[in-house]
Amino acid sequence: MAAPRELRRVEVGAAVREYADVLALRVAMGALAASSAAAYVRDVEEFARLVGAAVVLDDVEASDVELAVVRIANAPDARYSRRRKLGADGEDVPGRGLHARARWLASVRGLFRWAIQGATYARIP
């Protein structure tokens, strides 16, 4: 019987950097659009800032992710630095819309899925 793999406690910031490398590799292989990868990386980097880059990935709870979603929903949308994001009535709209929040959450789920599926946490050359 084979011994189980040794589990390593990896900080969120390190996991995000490694996941960004994996996404870059997928872009190079033609499996992912560069613009999608850039959006996913931006999202998971923001996730790391919100939960703390030094927090161990395995210690992140669902409530931490929920709080991060609330924060991005209510914070000014940094993607609109050159012009303001306006609603249908022409007024400023705080935070991100439903689709942007859904993509953000999908990006974070992708990070966790990648980590669960046995990421080696070894830098890609």
For residues 5-24, average pLDDT? 89
Q: Model confidence over 52-63: pLDDT tens digits?
A: 999 999 999 999
13 pLDDT above the threshold of 60: yes
Q: What tokens were used for 95?
A: 């935070």
Contacts of 122 (CB under 8 A, 6+ apart): 18
CB 23 within 8 A of CB 32: yes
Q: What is the pLDDT of residue 117?
A: 85
For residue 56, the 8-state DSSP code is: B
For residues 7-13, average pLDDT? 86
Contacts of 9 (CB under 8 A, 6+ apart): 56, 57, 58
121 pLDDT above the threshold of 50: no
* Highest mean predicted confidence (pLDDT) among 25-29, 74-78, 113-117: 25-29
Torsion of CA 99, 107, 67, 55, to 10 degrees: -170
Q: What is the pLDDT of residue 1?
A: 67
Residue found under tokens 């996730």: 47
Handedness of CA 49, 51, 56, 58 (dihedral sign): negative
3-state secondary structure of 92: strand
For residue 6, the 8-state DSSP code is: P
- Percentage of the chain exceeding pLDDT 90: 58
For residues 66-81, average pLDDT? 77
Helices (H), 29-97: 34-51, 62-74
Instruction: Residue 86: count other Cβ atoms within 10 Å of its Cβ.
Output: 11
Q: Model confidence over 26-65: pLDDT tens digits?
A: 999 999 999 999 999 999 999 999 999 999 999 999 999 9
Q: What is the pLDDT of residue 54?
A: 96
